[in-house]
């Protein structure tokens, strides 16, 4: 009996060895493709690598801060990995005060958890990746191609005067090919941008809810809109730069501007607005991607005495329509589409789609309605990847289009 047991053990070892040899061996010293980091000087959460502000990058360790003398440990108000953080004392998209991680070239998903902050953005590889994460312990993620063997990331503006903090970072390799998936990039203002928490915020921009109406098997959505933004600022202050770094043939760039451009404090004439928009359209076209112009929706109270909603003379709409024709690019006239929808549902139901006491900014339900209207029109125009239908699991409280 003992001999049989011994023979069986030998056979098992031989079979196991043969099975193991069928897998490619990892080269000695190969960089890992997956990481979870817990930042700050508190307890380290199980399954995470603890990183303090003083931890300097070394080639041997393969991760750490490039200039730890410009980092400090700070508390945070969350739990687990969000109970502490590090603060970037120096910052900026071009700053070398970054957290560095050696990674094999490929496509990665990076999940970011901030510490305590009012409004902060995430930059990597010298450009913005996430715009204006708001509130303590905000969470968001992005895809990024790594082509030089290293991720360089920091937390930055945001809003000047607030702390730019980082509580946790998760990095997962998606593909060995360093190319982003087909992507819909979105530019716009406070009626378009993200609000946090992304899955439960009361206020929302239509760009935040737009992924519900996009075929996720075809597209990734990157919302680069920000509150208060104007065409000149979007072009000049880093948001367009980030899009141009990655956009490629097959991608879309949806651009809605005009609300803030018409505010006298921004000193933008309609002629200037049109040329700023033209420049962005042409730069995106030069990358082989497809720009799509979108006009802003009106206010909740834009009803006349007959109960018809209309705001067609607002926010440089005429110039946006003319530009779409001159540059031969698709146009989604959300201004008119939303007015038709609001007229259908009436003043009271329309007001319920906006923030309380605010006739300009949509709430979550309103943002999803606007996102659907945009997607429906893109589908109608024959642009691929847009369903115009709410995905399973979307907010059931959002009203459907009247039949």
Closest listed residue to residue 87, CA positions, set 139, 160, 162, 138: 162
Which of 23 and 187 is assigned the larger pLDDT?
Answer: 187
- 155 backbone φψ class: left, alpha, beta (φ>0; ψ -120 to 50): beta
Catalytic residue among 261, 361, 365, 377: 361
Query: Is it the case that residue 398 has pLDDT exceeding 50?
Result: no
Residues contacting residue 330 through CB under 8 Å, at least 6 positions apart:
290, 291, 292, 293, 324, 378, 381, 383
Supply the pLDDT for residue 393. Answer: 55
Supply the pLDDT for residue 204. Answer: 98
Compute the distance between CA of residue 280 and CA of residue 224 in angstroms, rounded to an integer. Answer: 14
Query: Is it the case that residue 220 has pLDDT exceeding 90?
Result: yes
Structural domains for the chain: 34-175 (2.60.120.430), 183-380 (3.40.50.1110)
* Span 244-263, pLDDT tens digits: 999 999 999 999 999 999 99
Compute the distance between CA of residue 69 and CA of residue 88 in angstroms, rounded to an integer. Answer: 10
* Span 93-117, pLDDT tens digits: 999 999 999 999 999 999 999 999 9
DSSP state of 25: P
Q: Which two tokens stand for residue 43?
A: 């307890």
Supply the pLDDT for residue 276. Answer: 98
Compute the distance between CA of residue 260 and CA of residue 360 in angstroms, rounded to an integer. Answer: 12
Q: Which two tokens stand for residue 223?
A: 């919302």
Catalytic residue among 190, 226, 311, 339: 190
Q: Using alpha carbons, list the distances in angstroms from residue 320 to 41, 46, 238.
A: 51, 52, 22
CB of 85 closer than 8 Å to CB of 39: yes
* Active site (annotated) includes residue 358: yes
Compute the distance between CA of residue 109 and CA of residue 96 in angstroms, rounded to an integer. Answer: 22
* Active site (annotated) includes residue 226: no
In the block, tokens 């200037």 appear at 272
CB of 386 closer than 8 Å to CB of 378: yes
Supply the pLDDT for residue 10. Answer: 41
53, 134, 44, 105: CA torsion to nearest 10: -70
In the block, tokens 């959460």 appear at 45
CB of 195 closer than 8 Å to CB of 201: yes
Query: Is it the case that residue 5 has pLDDT exceeding 80?
Result: no
The helix, strand and coil proportions of the chain, stated in percent and rounded to the nearest 5, come to 30, 25, 45
Confidence of residue 389 (pLDDT cuts 50, 70, 90): confident
* Active site (annotated) includes residue 361: yes
Write a three-state SS string for 238-278: CHHHHHHHHCCCCCEEEEECCCCCCCHHHCCCHHHHHHHHH
Catalytic residue among 96, 148, 215, 358: 358
Supply the pLDDT for residue 385. Answer: 84
Residue 176: count other Cβ atoms within 10 Å of its Cβ. 10
* Span 7-25, pLDDT tens digits: 444 444 343 444 333 333 3
Q: Report, as an integer, the average pLDDT of 210-215.
A: 94
In order, the DSSP letters of 150-174 are: EEEEEEE-SSTTS--EE-EEEEEEE
């Amino acid at each position: 009996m003992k001999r049989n047991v011994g023979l069986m053990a030998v056979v098992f070892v031989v079979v196991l060895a043969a099975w193991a040899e069928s897998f490619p061996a990892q080269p000695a010293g190969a960089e890992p493709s997956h990481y979870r980091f817990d930042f700050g000087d508190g307890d380290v959460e199980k399954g995470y690598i603890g990183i303090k502000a003083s931890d300097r990058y070394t080639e041997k360790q393969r991760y750490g801060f490039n200039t730890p003398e410009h980092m400090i440990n700070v508390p945070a108000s969350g739990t687990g990995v969000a109970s502490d953080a590090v603060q970037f004392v120096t910052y900026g998209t071009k700053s070398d005060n970054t957290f560095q991680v050696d990674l094999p070239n490929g496509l990665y998903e990076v999940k970011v958890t901030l510490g305590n902050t009012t409004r902060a953005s995430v930059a990597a590889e010298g450009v913005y990746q996430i715009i204006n994460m708001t509130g303590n312990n905000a969470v968001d993620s992005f895809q990024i191609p790594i082509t030089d063997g290293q991720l360089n990331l920091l937390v930055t503006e945001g809003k000047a005067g607030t702390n730019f903090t980082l509580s946790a970072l998760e990095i997962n390799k998606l593909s060995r090919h360093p190319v982003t998936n087909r992507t819909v990039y979105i530019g716009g203002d406070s009626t378009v941008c993200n609000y946090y928490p992304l899955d439960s915020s009361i206020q929302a921009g239509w760009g935040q809810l737009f992924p519900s109406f996009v075929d996720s098997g075809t597209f990734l959505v990157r919302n680069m809109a920000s509150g208060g933004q104007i065409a000149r600022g979007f072009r000049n202050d880093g948001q367009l730069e980030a899009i141009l770094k990655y956009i490629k043939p097959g991608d879309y760039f949806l651009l809605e501007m005009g609300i803030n451009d018409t505010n006298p404090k921004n000193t933008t004439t309609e002629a200037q607005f049109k040329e700023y928009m033209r420049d962005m359209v042409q730069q995106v076209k030069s990358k082989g991607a497809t720009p799509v112009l979108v006009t802003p929706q009106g206010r909740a109270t834009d009803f006349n005495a007959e109960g018809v909603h209309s705001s067609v003379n607002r926010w440089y709409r005429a110039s946006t329509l003319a530009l779409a024709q001159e540059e031969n690019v698709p146009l989604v006239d959300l201004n008119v589409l939303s007015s038709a929808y609001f007229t259908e549902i009436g003043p009271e139901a329309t007001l319920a789609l906006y923030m309380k006491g605010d006739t300009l900014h949509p709430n979550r339900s309103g943002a999803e309605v606007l996102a659907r209207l945009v997607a429906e029109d893109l589908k109608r125009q024959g642009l691929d990847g847009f369903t115009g239908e709410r995905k399973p699991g979307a907010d059931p409280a959002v009203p459907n289009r009247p039949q």
